[in-house]
Copies of this chain bind each other. A is one copy, B any other.
Amino acid sequence: MTESPREAYERPHRPPRAEGTPAADRRAGIREAALRLFAEQGYRSTTMTDIGAAVGIRGPSLYKHVTSKHDLLAEIMIGTMEQLIADNSAAVAGVDDVREQLRRSVEAHIRYHARHRLEAFVGNREIGSLEQPDQARVLARRSDYETRFRELIERGADEGVFRVPAARIASYSILDMGIGVSSWFREGGEFTVDQLAYQYGDIALRIVGAP
């Protein structure tokens, strides 16, 4: 990863690998590298030099593509919450049965946390690193997301389908299980995403007393 000052000095200004790479791809590459590094090292410990090195350019050159380091984090975190909410909406659309709605909601929740584990992991760990108003935006979406699960559980309890002493504890435990997935799941490990989604769906139904 390191290079001598001499090598750096002699490198041509426009490396060949940049040819044929449109601006959008470069931006996406930066975003991806930042995400990976934020997940591995944490936001504060990741330097613009690190992110630049991961895409083959110098730290200051990043500012031709992004406005700030904080902006990279905010984009990742807000995007993550929006996607989770959109996935949830899609999961329950056209379904009436409350039990089936919960199963699909949980499966979508687990799928996202397994498939986008870095986003979810960073999204949960770096909330405190976000400055206002971005932090408030993320927290508002998190609250919205939790409310969807809790109200679903309350509805199931009202209908007599679910049996829970406290809907909020049920919703928290179900959501926190999923958040945990983003910290231990590895592609190619013991379980596939589908297996995980299905089993956690079962677990959620057991939690609400409707196995």
Give chain A's interface residues, CB within 8 Å of chain B: 40-42, 44-45, 125, 128-129, 165-166, 168-170, 172-173, 175-177, 179-181, 183-184, 190-191, 196, 199-200, 202-203, 206-207, 209, 211
Q: Is the CB of A172 within 8 A of B184?
A: yes
Asked if B184 and A177 sit within 8 Å, CB to CB, the answer is no
Complex copy number for this chain: 2
One of B40, B44, B199 near A165 (C-beta < 8 A): B199
A165 to B207, CA, bound (A): 15
User: Can you give 24 contacting A-B residue pairs, CB < 8 Å?
Assistant: A42-B44, A42-B128, A42-B129, A44-B44, A45-B129, A125-B125, A166-B190, A166-B199, A169-B191, A169-B199, A172-B177, A172-B180, A172-B181, A173-B177, A173-B200, A173-B203, A175-B180, A176-B177, A176-B179, A177-B180, A203-B207, A206-B206, A206-B207, A207-B207
